[in-house]
Amino acid sequence: MGALTLRDIVDVEVLQEVQDRFADATGFAVIIGDEQGNPITRPSNFTSFCSYIRSCPEGLRRCILSDERVGILAAKKGRPVIHRCHSGLVDLAAPIIHNEKYLGAVLCGQVLMTGHEEEQLQNVYQNISELPLDQGKLKRYLQQITRQDEKKVNAIIELLFMTANYIVKMIVAHIAQQELNERTKQLMEELRIRSELEKMLQDIELQMLQSQMNPHFLFNTLNTISRLAYLEGAEKTQDVTYSLSRILRYSLRKINKLIPVKEEIEYIRHYFFIQQTRYREMLYFECKLDPGIERIHIPFMTLQPLIENAIVHGFEPEGKAMMVRVSGRYEEDKILFEVEDNGKGMQDIRLEDMLSTIQRHAVGHTTGIGIYNIHRRLQCQFGEQYGITGMENGIGKGVKVTITLPRGDLYEPINCG
């Protein structure tokens, strides 16, 4: 069928969607190149430093040559590789190979490794010194480059390999369907593969969220601990430190683990205690559960993200005090959880409209994305009729979110397909 190229086989916009979702889930810069290093897709999450280098012909030539070399190296090894690009930044490449033919690579990175950073920066300064660009601007952009540890990079490279393999599956499906000339079967197979990829990337997003506490929250908490240590004899400091340690320990659980409601509420109380320490008499928490509900098992991190949303988006530190309530009750063959606050609220929007919009255009980690992720996890666990089934909101009216689950004492996972 002639010379096989990645552009000929897979729709570039499909590749772009795969790339964009990977970049959103991991926070790394990503691009897909052909066998000669030429970009096929538009860059996702590219740093200002690399974008500026690619803005001049010589910088672009060096970048393409570097991408070509690392792609060929990955193809020879048959798996992802870590290397340093022409400027000295750490890049990762996973080969796209079909029938022993190298078609291109998924490339990501543009980071510096933690440790020996001064030596790395000096090497980069030397490598870019001859480029016909504003060196002062390059150095400022370089200071903004993310630092990553070896453990994080190794985790990302495995996810990158999975993504490259999914692209190969798309290639295989496309060729088989083209030879059979069965357009209907082709569309169904591509939808199946893309559905699997979407689920995988959602899992990646959840794993990334699990592995990183909100940096602003950690920063503010540490500042609170520092101030308390200075102002008093350390009793409150001990309490705050204990609550933070419990939160961190809880967050290390596996994302697909089922836990008793009692443990989730305990985690929320520790989280709330830290926020109350920061804001004194401005935050209050109430919890009311029907007897026995505290023993029900639910997916890890079902209620807490809604509590955090309420504080992050509904609390006004200079305004009125805010109350956040969690309730759980039996209703026929169901269990209803409600998370309600009296904060500043948000623009009135129907739950169905929000979920539908997020499903079609999922980007970033907004309140809507958080609600959508909780909803889909619960549907995967219990069935399509469950999940987040109600939302009341409006400017100045606070927000109330309702979760509906089947009634039972222990829930076993089901196949989400």
Residues 21 and 130 in one domain: yes
The verdict on 293 and 164 lying in the same domain is no
* pLDDT surpasses 60 at 153: yes
Looking at the structure, do residues 160 and 16 belong to the same domain, yes or no?
yes
Give the residue-averaged pLDDT of 284-307.
90
Lowest mean pLDDT among 8-12, 42-46, 190-194: 190-194
Q: Is the pLDDT of residue 53 over 90?
A: yes
pLDDT at residue number 330: 93
| Predicted local confidence at residue 116, as pLDDT | 76
What pLDDT, on the 0 to 100 scale, is given for residue 366?
47
CATH of the domain at 318: 3.30.565.10
Q: Is the pLDDT of residue 249 over 70?
A: no
122, pLDDT greater than 50? yes
Residue that wins the pLDDT comparison between 338 and 184 = 338
Q: What one-letter code names the amino acid at 86?
A: H
Single out the residue in 185, 211, 237 at which a domain terminates. Answer: 211
* Residue 50 confidence (pLDDT) above 70: yes
Query: Mean pLDDT throughout 115-133?
Result: 88
199 and 301 in a single domain? The answer is no
pLDDT at 412 over 70: no
Instruction: Tell me: pLDDT of 416 over 50.
Output: no
10/134 same-domain check: yes
On whether residue 143 sits in a domain, the answer given is: yes
CA dist 142 → 86, 109, 174, 221, 259 (Å): 14, 14, 41, 29, 43
Please report whether residue 68 resides in a domain. Answer: yes
- What is the predicted pLDDT for the residue at 258? 85
Q: What is the mean pLDDT of residues 7-34?
A: 88
Query: Above 60 in pLDDT, residue 210?
Result: no
Answer whether residue 277 shows pLDDT above 60: yes
pLDDT tens-digit readout, 318-330: 678 889 999 999 9
pLDDT at 55: 95
Domain assignment present for 149: yes
Q: Is 15 domain-assigned?
A: yes
pLDDT band at 378 (very low <50, low <70, confident <90, very high): confident
| Domain identity same for 10 and 128 | yes
The tally of domains found in the chain comes to: 2
Q: Quick one: 300 and 183 in the same domain?
A: no
Same domain, 29 and 117: yes
Residues 400 and 290 in one domain: yes
pLDDT at 251: 65
CA distance 28 to 407: 41
Q: What is the pLDDT of residue 250?
A: 66
| Residue range of the domain that includes 119 | 6-211
Residue that terminates a domain, selected from 211, 235, 270:
211
Is the pLDDT confidence value at 254 over 60? no
- Lowest-confidence pick of 73-82, 149-158, 237-246, 317-326: 237-246
| Most confident segment among 123-127, 178-182, 193-197 | 123-127
* Mean local confidence (pLDDT), 166-193: 72
285 and 207, same domain (yes or no)? no
Beta-ladder partners of 403: 337, 388
Q: Which tens digit of pLDDT belongs to each residue from 390-406?
A: 888 877 788 899 999 99
Asked if residue 225 belongs to a domain, the reply is no
What share of the chain in percent tops pLDDT 90?
26
Is the whole model's pTM more than 0.75, yes or no?
no
* Stretch 209-229: mean pLDDT: 58
| Confidence check: pLDDT of 66 > 60 | yes
The answer on 336 and 191 residing in a single domain is no
For position 100, what pLDDT does the model report?
Answer: 85
368 pLDDT higher than 70: no
* 398 falls within a domain: yes
Q: What is the dihedral of CA 338, 342, 347, 350, to 10 degrees?
A: 20
Residue 23 domain-assigned (yes or no): yes
User: For residue 9, is pLDDT > 60?
Assistant: yes
Identify the domain boundary among 161, 191, 211.
211
Structural domain includes residue 244: no
* Confidence label for 223 from pLDDT (cuts 50, 70 and 90): low
Residue 204 has pLDDT above 80, yes or no: no
Residues 25 and 172 in one domain: yes
